[in-house]
Structure 1
């Protein structure tokens, strides 16, 4: 049986082998097992690319991948604020896309680097969206990356959180309950490998919000969270200027261009999101 998934670049193939234990000889058999498992759960016919994302997110441990898949489908029901009403043409989703709340960058630092993304908390606060809306839109885009982006599935992702023009009203929404639900999804149900989280333009009180987040993280992940100073120089070692938008001192286009790209991309997946909701 041939493995109908994208062929990795040599650099990512090396990461997949060394960090994830990826073995091309075993993948086809593992995909058969996972597809049977998803069908047993009553969740239809997922693509190989979807399933291999869960394999990679579980470092090719089939039992862990099965557990993540089961958790993913069960959390779609038990945490509806993150997984329901995800029609990209819904006015609420349209507003989130137009405001550019969550924006993966077009380039990575290196060919084998994690996929970087910017969370822009200012528009979230200004337009009075809920933190749960941010989590919903970020999970929607993460699912697209899971299907399309090999850097994301193999090397993981880096997050730059821009807290400019936010206030206490937004921070107060980051309750232990929301933190627990979001990290349960990230760590137990989605094959996401978070490599770094950097916060910039942080308001007063941010350390309390970070402390709440760290309550639900393992020791390894806690060390990957960095609150940067007012100077953007702190972020350039991990995210070079060549991959950042102009608004962050970079040279790769503008934030508005990224907003347009991701709005169109999410809209193009409308049928997929509607199907996912029907099979919940």
Structure 2
């Protein structure tokens, strides 16, 4: 099924949700035998999308794609592989195929997600510097989204203290976003791991990031929100964490700081208040 999943990932018209629908509702042997027109009809694709899907489906050349993936050292991890993380497989809508660059052995490690605002303050940076080292000493791999701000700082600090980190990005590897973190991306790839649900040529779209967030939380035993505004993508990750029956942790902040409004609200709603790493470890152990 890995080759079929790869072919579907190279059909840009089919969304993550539509691919999941096919996977959940139809027998795998039937999926492998279905023609493009049958898939388009089952998904009720509009005429223009249907024509584009059928064209991309027919034009897909497995050998060319495999050569490209090998050239760029991109590995494939499908939901049927033994390497696929058990925690991620448990969520309602797991990614069926992951593109990976780096050390895939990290998929078997115990992980904690750390996410937060792109508008990180000095307070947020101090929190990251205080918490990440002891968490890494507990052999937790730090998972985040390689976004500007708290995400990037979490990755950097894990690398700085000799810990391990996994970045989950919202674009394909050959269309990396955000460009400000390209050097950090390359540093993580060398010794740690970057994952994407999107084929290498796919550019970032706004809906990719909520989709990406469910993977960040799904890989992890729990999610720590360091700073977040009232309306923040980090709160989407917190919701995904709760839906996946995982632990949500939040760092409190000043009631006068917009960057703490989201985390303070999470604590009001029952998230575990975190002041030091032991607050997290006592829940995970």
TM-score, normalising length: structure 1:
0.31
Greater strand share, structure number: 2
Greater RCO, 1 or 2 (C-alpha within 8 Å, sep 6+) = 1
Q: Which has the larger radius of gyration?
A: 2
